[in-house]
Structure 1
């Protein structure tokens, strides 16, 4: 299959994305979580990129390491060497004690060693041009730019990415969820992440978001669905892929529905 076709749902196949790997069962944004998701058979993985004090790209959701490690402070407060001494598994479970923070390079090496078709949803969390430029350069270095989409909740980063790197796909969100939003941001979007479980996510709003994305030629990507009922709900809205914290639920449910080949 052509790499461009991998992004699109088919009558018998809705792509499934593993959120931070399989973050319901493994420490999020770690190599063990990503490898488990790939082995499970997801079509995409999502992860987050931040910069260290010495300008290295690491994969971590928060700008702070407090929630996911045994230390405190901002990711940017530490060098890569310092971060590599911290434990990014023990807060999730003693079973994962000793798990280290991965670099973006390590994640891309894992992807290339495991799959020739896996798609990457790369969310920029260090909302700087430096982080975007370094991330895109590394995706090109590993031959993964065509299989990647750059996502961000800061609309100015989406606009910058599309301006500085027009070859890259970008993903934003409905404007009400984005910082620095302007209407032209929609012109930059290949995909739109549409939440189904946040406080204001009524059926009417989700339906309107999907309809709007369709009207602009933007793919509608619904998140996160972790029960069979939620998966079926996403299908009913006409999603172009389904994100799960435990993507096994979406995979199993879609297969039962004849919607994941």
Structure 2
């Protein structure tokens, strides 16, 4: 059965990476996984936000990393999506973990390079361990070095490489990074690579699929490919 992964929570219905988007996804039993994006505040707290800057999804300006948690908490992270979401706040990773624990798999994208947030892996892993969720999360990143670092810190947690493109020797790169999950932009994924990766024991996540015809095509490749989508309800008729 193809797993439905809600992208940044149910971001087709609520502001991305907010507790409302997370709660909407958790309320739908057919959603078995959820993707979120994590960065660090100036005072080192893991929070949920995609962009490195604040302008698109909040009423703030500047870099996320330049603001303390208290400063970020003052921002409105919902009005950009719709008036009824005014006052929505940027959540902490810990709030998301508490909400999700025991209910679905959480794909935590580390939105960083190892140079930008040198201790992001340690801080995220500490929270995952604190809440006993090593078996319930994936830690994924575009940064291969960061994923290799995660693997040196912890041998249990599942890790993945995020890829937008079609690098050569993709599966070999996965093995070199100690990753067990390939999270690839769906325009670059095909049946051959999907099947080869899954047969070698890797998990495959295709993102971000919102067009039903694309969803139908990708799930036809293999029953284990995971579909990351802003609109999980568009997947129901195919599974």
2:234 counterpart SS class? helix
Quote the offset at 1:215 in angstroms: 5.0
For the pair 1:102 / 2:88, whether they are aligned, the reply is no
Q: Taking structure 1 as the reference length, what is the TM-score of the superposition?
A: 0.82
For residue 10 of structure 1, what is the aligned residue in structure 2?
Answer: none
- Secondary structure of the corresponding residue to residue 35 of structure 1: helix
C-alpha separation in 2, matches of 1:177 and 1:159: 20
Whether contact under 8 Å (2:160, 2:179) holds in the other structure is yes
1:29 is matched with which residue: 11, 17, 36?
A: 17
Structure 1: gaps of 5 or more residues: 1-12
Q: What is the CA distance between 1:174 and its match in structure 2?
A: 4.7
Residues 158-215 of structure 1: per-residue CA shift (max 9 Å, x gap): 111112211110011358568xx99444341211112224xxx3xxx52243144235
Residue pair 2:165, 2:185 contacting (<8 A) in 1 also:
no
Tell me, in whole angstroms, the C-alpha distance in 1 between the residues paired with 2:2 and 2:112: 30
Does 2:180 correspond to 1:190?
Answer: yes
Matches within 5 A, 1:169-180: 169-174=158-163, 176=165
Cα pair 2:174 2:180 within 8 Å, conserved: no
- Which of 154, 159, 164 aligns to 1:165? It is 154
Closer/same/farther in 2, CA of residues 157 and 27 from structure 1, 3 Å limit: same
**Unaligned ranges ≥5, structure 2:** none
Q: Secondary structure at the match of 2:135?
A: helix
Q: Does 1:243 align with 2:228?
A: yes
Q: Partner of 1:126 in structure 2?
A: 112
Choose which of 1, 7, 26 in structure 2 pairs with 1:38.
26
Contact in 2 for aligned 1:22/1:245 (Cα 8 Å): yes
Q: Does 1:229 align with 2:229?
A: no
Equivalent residues in 2 for 1:6-155 (5 A)? 13-41=1-29, 42-112=31-101, 116-128=102-114, 129-155=118-144
Counterpart secondary structure, 1:226: coil
Bigger shift: residues 103-112 or 231-240: 231-240
Separation of aligned partners in 1, 2:180 and 2:33: 15
Q: Distance in 2 between matches of 1:177 and 1:46?
A: 22
Which structure has the highest helix share of the two?
A: 1
- Where 1:192 maps in the other structure, the secondary structure is strand
Q: Residues 174, 64 of structure 1: CA spacing in aligned structure 2 closer, same or farther, 3 A cutoff? A: closer
